Structure 1
Amino acid sequence: MDSPVDSKSSGDAPEVEATGGISPLEHAYDLDEKAKISDYKADAVEAENAEHKMGVLEAVREYPMASFWAFVMSFTIIMESYDVFLIGNFVALPAFREKYGVFDAATNSFVIVTKWQSALQVSGQLGALIGVFLAGPLTSYIGYRWATLTGLMLLNVFIFAFYFAESLPVIFVAQLLEGLPWGIFIANAPAYCSEIVPIKLRAPATQMLQMFWAIGSIIVGAVTYRYNGINHPSAYKIPIALQWMFPTPLAILIFLAPESPWWLVRKGRLQEAAHSVERLGRRSRLNSSETVAMMRRVVELEKSDKEPNHLELFKGTDLYRTLIVCGVYLAQNLTGNLIANQAVYFFEQAGVSTNTAFALGLITSALQMIFVMLSWFLTTYFGRRTIYLWGSGFNTILLVALGVAASVPVTKGTAAATAASLAQASLGLIISVLFTLGPAPASWVIIGETSAIRLRPLTTGIGRASYYIVEIPCIFLGSYMLNPTGGNLGGKCGYVWGATGLLCLITAYFYLPEMKGLSYREIDIMFKRRIPARKWKQTVLDVEDDE
């Protein structure tokens, strides 16, 4: 008689062989999963085809509230922008410099010493660096809405510390605290905006982030321009207090906003996801069950037994996706963005008067907003990779030209010196503006589209963290290069940023794929098939493909 073990082995062997080497239980589970997917795959295909066929205007008509809620979520970026530009302008504000600076005999004026100038610029970014690491797990657990609401309420409290600060160390700590909610906003906004709109609206929805960044700088520019001639604490206290304009109204709107249906599908809350889709679009024009089926299809493709964690971002094809997001974020700091963030101070160091510097800073911000809106059309119709590469190329050329203009030998006080100063100021303005026509807005679209749906909150968080990790030393370097008590390079900093910009351009050419017009299913499959970045545009996938 066979032993029980032998009997079991001989009985199971044919079944295991027949199912390709897996157990009957595993085989049954696999068939069950395929059956479940086939139940809604037809609806998923229908919804994806409908999105592909939509034009931009049709997408706006069918999803009007999605556009509105993307607008609201993007508005949260205005608070980081406002404060970043505020600190950048404070180092050029006479009343602030007289209160917290030291007298510099060489320039016959008060200046904020280099170490504190850099520290103030970097304080909020340090806080935001912590905030983005908190944002991923927090958002994965409680959703985009509640994570953003938490940040808004914290910001209301932290503004008090900044307003009542009477020393540079206290300002540093206050800025660090304010940075915590910024990290949540900047990690959540591009992900949320890209998830609530159809394919054709992903570019303009995510590019609104850059527009609100420009609007924040416009408000700061207008306020500091108004107060730069007033030698009184109100010249910097009022701009600080104006930060309270934003958090509470935004918190009310975010409370009323729908949660991302993709997040709800990830959590298995399908009925709530369908309701969210209906709130984002016109019920009479869309089939919410089909849209949810499309989302389920992608979520099932990415399904894992594990809870999303940061380690997954550095494994397999997710590593490539993470590196793209991080690389695009890094490039924002390495291609002249810091000239835009310190525009007023840059103009002063280029040799123009304080009043003119503030006026040019305001003009720069206004032009940036206009150019961001132009970029909506360029990125939507010409693609992300195309606009990013051409914009980065022009930016690199202009940065080198800035360095050349600053290298021309002139005698101080002569007409030639005035012309050289104006040339540097003009090139600085053009660089700051063109940056918002190409690389900057295209970056937000790439960031919103690249990551896997399952890992999106974590990917955008780690990507922004890389931005801050590189920005912090770049701020110290940028402040040192511009400060008269430091390197005093003025426009010659264009050589440095031109070199780093060229490196970023070459890297993007080889590794940045074109994701224009692709569904999240198609993006997942292209990464899994390891299609070379330069061949994405020519690759066509069947709508029935799942891997």
Structure 2
Amino acid sequence: MGFRNTSVWKSLSNLPFVRNFTLPVGGFCFVVALNVLSNGFDVAIYNTIQAMDAFQHTFGDVCVPNGVCHISTTNLSLLNSIPYIAYAAALFMASFIGERFGRRIVYILMNIICLCGIAVSYTAKSYGQILAGRCIVNIYTGMEGWLIPMFTAELVPPPVRGAMVTMYVFGRLIGSLIIGIVAYATASISGNDSWKIPVAVLFSAPSLALLLTWLIPESPRWLIRMGREDKAIASLKYLNDGYPGYNRRTSVAMISNFFALASGQAFANTYGTIFIKSLNVYNPYVFTIIIKVGGIAGALTFLLLVDHVGRRVFYFTLAPLAAVCMMVVGGIGTVPNPSNSAKLVIASMFPCYGFFLLGSFVPLGTLIPAEIPSPRLRDKTAMAAFTVQNLTNFVTTFTLPYLMNPGYANLGAKVGFIYGSFAFVACIWAFFYYPELKGRSLEEIDLMFEERIPARHTSSWKAPCQDIVAEKLHNNDPNPKRQTAEYIEGL
């Protein structure tokens, strides 16, 4: 909110081309660009990896006496042509769903289908499975080909419509180039990792696109055709930045939940016992109990003091310490053949990290979606925030073994640098965007956001007058005879 009033924002918003965008339209275009990149990834990846020796050996059906296999002419033809039938079927399916149920549901469905197809391809051990995976991914590309150009044309402003719709072609080329570079880098790797790593890269774009679904509104033109004028007006208001206060609250709730899981919780919680066991310096099960006790102590400290010292105090006191713990783990992980003493230092960071994490990121990630949303969007904001939390939990839990273990990224303890960096970024973000809500009634929070108070000034902000808050509540109360004083908390 505060940033929009700065000279930097005003200068950026007056630039040619940029001045045609509101933040919601810009967010929509960013997410669409992710899908276009994903389309480029998907189109190019199979064309590239099918030339790799490991791919040919795994899925080939013609083998010579020296053990070298390759894919027969028939199977190669089917692998590259059958998916176009899936593409054609997807066009009809997307058209039917999009006209009946809306553009947004097609967007969500196609990204889920893409992830399913990538998973089938990544785990493929037979020719039939890799063919099925490619067909499923081509269902995504068919749905995306129907949706994205039309959806973009319906939502972006006329002065930039041509450029933004044409971005569909340009973005596919960029995606193809990126995946070509990835395949070049992995082609020299022996074994199936040479083709599996490029396939794994495909997970990135649709996963992030799903994570940012909240930036995708329904097409107001489709809503009008369906006779839903009220929702069409709401969508237009959103696209024209008519609800900036609501946007800020929802984004704060979602981002706080993202950082709660991206700061290393899976490292200490889900994989903590396995990691401590790999150090071979302490009983991992005893140490797991110590980690849990540290977490309980942090949560209890937060519970007892949060309403006395405030939310931002906890964030800026314990969250940086959690980041330091992860950085220490990563730093010692760079030492080749660390001593037992160094390993004990790594292990000792985990109970400390548990205390700091459960005293900052985790409870605040739960608290903020409960108290920050606007009354009209409370359920939707909470749902969006906890959806982000769940998706982030999935991504971090899924990727961590690949980041740590030999044969893949083989980072070991150095993954602490990744999670520590996220934690430090969270602290910087919180300074500018995380408001202090200690002692605030929900009505005060509404006024605070309506007045666009910058987060760093919310600690000292005073409600202008009790009567204003009472009048606001009275005007929103369906039963005006109720005593508004019953709803004024702590004034």
For the criterion TM > 0.5, the same-fold answer is: no
Q: Could you say which TM-score interval applies, normalised by the shorter chain?
A: 0.3 to 0.5
Q: TM-score, normalised by structure 1?
A: 0.40
TM-score by length of 2: 0.45
